[in-house]
Amino acid sequence: MVLNQDKSINLFMLSSHCGPSSTMVVEDESLQLQPVFSVSDSAVSEVFEGGCHLSFLCCLFLACLYVGSLYVWPANLPRDHPKTIKKRFISVLFASAVSPLVVWAWMQAEKVKPSPPVLSLLGIRIEGAVPAAVLPLILTMVLYLGPLTQMALDSPKGLVHEIKSGLGMKNVTDCVRGLQWLRNHVVAPLTEELVFRACMLPILVPCTGPTAAIFIAPLFFGVAHFHHVTERLRFGSDSVFDILVCAVFQFSYTSVFGAYTAFIFIRTGHLVGPVLCHSFCNWMGFPALGSALQHPQRPALLLSYELGLLLFAFLLFPLTDPLFYGMTPVCSLILEPRSVCT
């Protein structure tokens, strides 16, 4: 995910049995993980003991696989050139196809039991799919209440007209045909969320816990964006200092955004929510705070920014309540319930 000049975001980034009292009974010294809500808090996972090194290596491999796939082609043209975009489509789709195999291999190496189906673990499941697609997107739109209000105020024909025009068949056709649009709003959100959230989080959660995983996984995502420094040095006209400042800002912004979509993935257990939120944020871009401060209707606009932040904080946990989505498979990999999973 890269903050481009057009403000879009884009990367081209124990217990054979547990009784009702949740006390543990060991038979024949056979140790297996039981689902999270039926194991006592004092239980220790033998399956994941000492397995964090492998987990971090797998995440590092996934990040290198994704970014490295972008550079298997000769880098003679800028990233926005149609030929470069098409080749990188092939690269990231290949990396995305290989990534679930890494998760499967990690599960086999760690002998994960119980072992949820890989697709379910990656957030590709039917249960709760509709609320998982709608509620996180609404939450993200609430966060963008200020920019949406600014868009409505600056639209000469009104926001409703802009929405109708945007959803018109001609505009949709033009967008689908545009390679940059497809990259920013379809391919990048889908492949980045699959690799950096759906594949990394199930690997990290058992050894770090869900809360720590939410903040660790985005670091791989943020660091992955530093590859744009080399491209800007080759094809850009900015100074080295400006490029480095942009890279640091990019790392900070993408890491925060990655933590947000990681939170959504763990809370909902679905991939569709993070993908749609990612695509929406790419469309909106980074909020134009500078122009908001100089806007003729500044008081009303700043109020909408503040209201959006307050409503977002108030609705963050209610709209991502796992009760809407069923028990999240990734949370079945931990031994005791955590606040993020409940």
Distance CA 244, CA 92 (A): 25
Query: Which residue of the set 185, 193, 225, 270 is catalytic?
Result: 225
DSSP string over 267-306 = HH--SHHHHHHHHHHHHH-S--HHHHHT-TTHHHHHHHHH
210-224 vs 200-208: helix crossing angle, rounded to 10: 140
Q: Say whether 46 is catalytic.
A: no
Assign 239 to helix, strand or coil. Answer: coil
Distance CA 294, CA 110 (A): 56
Main-chain phi, psi angles of 3, to 5 degrees = -85, 100
Distance CA 169, CA 175 (A): 10
Residues listed for the chain? 342
Q: Specify whether the CB–CB gap between 146 and 308 falls below 8 A.
A: yes
Assign 155 to helix, strand or coil. Answer: coil
Query: Which residue of the set 192, 227, 270, 278 is catalytic?
Result: 192
In angstroms, what CA-CA distances link 20 with 25, 39, 40, 304? 12, 10, 10, 50
Q: Say whether 225 is catalytic.
A: yes
Please give the structure tokens belonging to residue 177: 């045909």
Distance CA 36, CA 20 (A): 14
Please give the structure tokens belonging to residue 161: 């007209």
Where in the sequence numbering do the catalytic residues fall?
192, 225
